[in-house]
Amino acid sequence: MINAHRYHHMTANTIVTPTARLIEIFSAIQGEGLNVGTRQIFIRFALCDLRCHFCDSANTWNAPNQCKIECTPGFRDFEIHPNPISLSMLLEWVKRQNIPCLHDSISLTGGEPLLHASFLQEFLPQVRAATELPIYLETGGHRPEQLMMVLPYIDSVGMDFKLESVSGEKRFSEHARFLQLCNDSQVETFVKIIISDRTDSTELERVAELLADVNPEIPVFLQPVTPLATSAQIVDVPIMLAPSPDQVLRWQGIMKRLIKRVRVVPQTHKMLNQM
pLDDT for 215-253, tens place per residue? 999 999 999 998 765 444 455 666 889 999 999 999 999
- For residue 111, whether the previous peptide bond is cis, meaning omega lies within 30 degrees of 0, is yes
Query: Alpha helices of 30-98 — where are they, by DSSP H?
Result: 87-97
Confidence of residue 181 (pLDDT cuts 50, 70, 90): very high
CATH number at residue 186: 3.20.20.70
Task: Give residue 80's pLDDT.
Answer: 98
Mean pLDDT computed over 127-131: 98
What's the full length of the chain, in residues?
275
Q: Which residues contact 3 (CB under 8 A, 6 or more apart)?
A: none
Does some domain include residue 1? no
Q: What 8-state DSSP symbol labels residue 73?
A: T
Give the predicted TM-score (pTM) of the model.
0.90
Do 148 and 180 form a contact (C-beta atoms < 8 A)?
no
Number of domains in the chain: 1
Domain annotation covers residue 169: yes
Name the residue with higher pLDDT: 228 or 6. 228
Task: Collapse the DSSP code of 26 into the 3-class scheme (helix H, G, I; strand E, B; otherwise coil) and give the result.
Answer: strand
The predicted structure's pLDDT at residue 14: 58
Residue 49 lies in a domain: yes
Distance CA 123, CA 43 (A): 12
Single-letter residue type at 202: T
Tell me if the bond preceding 73 is cis, omega within 30° of 0: no
| Residues 202, 208 contacting (CB under 8 angstroms) | no
User: What is the C-alpha to C-alpha distance for residues 223 and 228, in angstroms, rounded to an integer?
Assistant: 15
Residue 4: its pLDDT value, please? 52
| C-alpha radius of gyration, the chain, whole number | 19
**Phi (first) and psi of residue 199, to 5 degrees:** -60, 135
pLDDT of residue 198: 95
Query: What domain range includes position 56?
Result: 6-271
Flag whether 15 is in a domain. yes
12 and 117 Cβ atoms separated by less than 8 Å: no
Lowest mean pLDDT among 139-143, 166-170, 271-275: 271-275
Residue type, 177: R
- Coil, strand or helix at 68: strand
What residue type is assigned to position 66 of the chain? Q
**Has residue 152 been placed in a domain?**
yes
Considering the domain boundaries, does residue 225 fall inside one? yes
pLDDT score for 30: 95
Residue pair 258/216 in contact by the 8 Å Cβ criterion: yes
Crossing angle of helices 245-256 and 201-214, in 10° steps, is 30
Nearest-angstrom CA–CA distance, 8 and 10:
6
Please check the confidence at residue 2 and state whether its pLDDT lies above 80: no
Q: Domain for residue 109, yes or no?
A: yes
Higher pLDDT, 269 or 210: 210
What local confidence, expressed as pLDDT, does residue 12 receive? 45
Residue 135: closest CA among 100, 187, 97, 185: 187
Q: pLDDT-based confidence at 7, cuts 50/70/90?
A: very low
Q: Please check whether residue 80 lies inside any domain of the structure.
A: yes
Distance CA 224, CA 265 (A): 7
